[in-house]
Amino acid sequence: MYPDLSYLFNDLFGTQVDNWTSIFKSFGLMLALAFVACSWLLRSELMRLEKDGLVKPLSVKKNAKAYTMSDLLLNAAVTMIAGAKIPYIFIHFAEFKADPSSVIFSKLGLWPIGILIGALMGAYLYFTKYKKQVEAVEEIVVVHPHEKTMDIIFLAAISGVLGSRLFSIFENMETFLRDPIGTLFAGSGLTIYGGLILAFISVYWYVKKAGIRPIYMMDIAAMGILLGYAIGRIGCQISGDGDWGIVAAPQPSWWFLPDWIWSYNFPHNVASEGVPMGGCDVSQLSSLKGSVEDKCEAACGMRYCLELPEKVYPTSFYETILSLTGFGLLWILRKRVKIAGQLFFLYMIYNGVERFFIETIRVNEKYNYFGANWSQAQYISIGFVIVGILGALYLSRKKPGWEQQA
């Protein structure tokens, strides 16, 4: 496993692990790649829809020279956050190197310095841009749908993280009540379905306001979610973030693929679960104080020194393959299916079935409702399948172009 780039470079070139390249975490890099891929997909599909005459550019009024108060406040806020975080990172680089997300997405920072720098930036912008600006000139500009790509992706990212956090809080209410601030700004604790739900609502509102029919965006989102999820799950697999399956059954004699595809013990996993790997002083590891990573560094010479005692199913890899398969299927069908919205409901059916069965071999808490003992994701998956079937049946009565008259 490669929790960060230093472990990959160690494997390739024999360099020291846990060096400065440790700030580049495997999961974070794959998450960034997922957003790049989704941005490309959204932009290319919006351009295709405009070429086909299904979406049209908008003519909007714009103040060409206006620098608004909202612009000023946004720039000052960004400067304040950067002013608090950057000095903190320099002073506590070892902490940042160990877990960048816990520093970036948390309340940690030199906030008095950040507030001072933000206030100075706000004052500078007020006197140099806001107060001295000439009278705004209003003009009509043409905005093409694909030019909204970054706005949509940014909104989906922010609302997705927020929804994931809120759903996780709902699942772990006792932890939240004990430490509300710490839970809100924790670097971990995200639930995928919560992110999907809030991101869907936010993007639906935005694209409707932008003059893009939401039904087209739903079809694009179906492909984007599968593509982004597949890439994100690669990050889960190579980092060993704890999203693995139950203890695997013995490998059958007919198995011809690499052993790790059937079962894996996730060495160097970032979840810091399992037993020490070979070369560790186990007696020293058990006697030391501090975090698991600190103990590993002292006893084994590396911050991630654990592996699972028994091999488990690598469910993240399975979901990567299944999601890429689903994306490929929808990509092929996108020009063949003439009823807008059908791709989205096909995605809901596919995703619901895939996730329901994957959950049967994943490590997850079970809930007993209505006589069924399933995980939370399995109950939601059933809902996905039902909505997908009902939506597909409803649209089966529609004719091509129905959305243009809606």
Does some domain include residue 74? yes
pLDDT tens column, 40-72: 999 999 999 999 888 888 877 766 556 778 889
Q: Which of the four pLDDT bands, split at 50, 70 and 90, describes residue 352?
A: very high
pLDDT tens column, 231-244: 999 999 999 988 89
Does 185 score more than 60 pLDDT? no
Does some domain include residue 92? yes
Does some domain include residue 356? no
Q: How many other C-beta atoms lie within 10 A of the C-beta of residue 33? A: 15
Choose the weakest-confidence range: 28-32, 172-176, 239-243.
172-176
Does some domain include residue 390? no
Q: Which is more confidently placed, 62 or 179?
A: 62
Average pLDDT on 210-227 reads: 91
Does some domain include residue 405? no
Does some domain include residue 324? no
Residue 253, pLDDT score:
94
Residue 5, pLDDT score:
94
Q: Which is more confidently placed, 7 or 163?
A: 7
Does 186 score more than 60 pLDDT? no
Q: Give the number of domains in the chain.
A: 1
CA 186 to chain centre: 15
Using CA atoms, how far apart are residues 1 and 11, in angstroms rounded to an integer? Answer: 10
Average pLDDT on 280-302 reads: 79
Does 184 score more than 70 pLDDT? no
Residue 176, pLDDT score:
62
Does some domain include residue 134? yes
% of the chain beyond a pLDDT of 90: 49
**Domain encompassing residue 77:** 66-143
Residue 2, pLDDT score:
93
Amino acid at 16: Q
pLDDT tens column, 99-153: 787 788 788 899 999 999 999 999 999 998 888 776 656 677 788 889 889 889 8
Residue 282, pLDDT score:
67
Using CA atoms, how far apart are residues 136 and 125, in angstroms rounded to an integer? Answer: 17
Does some domain include residue 330? no
- Identify any residues that bridge with 275 across adjacent strands, giving them in sequence order: 307
Burial 357-379 (b: 16+ CB within 10 A, else e): ebbebbebeeeeeeeeebbbbbb
Mean pLDDT value across the chain = 87
Residue 96, pLDDT score:
86
Q: Which of the four pLDDT bands, split at 50, 70 and 90, describes residue 197?
A: confident
Residue 256, pLDDT score:
95
Average pLDDT on 298-318 reads: 93
Residue 182, pLDDT score:
55
Q: Which of the four pLDDT bands, split at 50, 70 and 90, describes residue 187?
A: very low
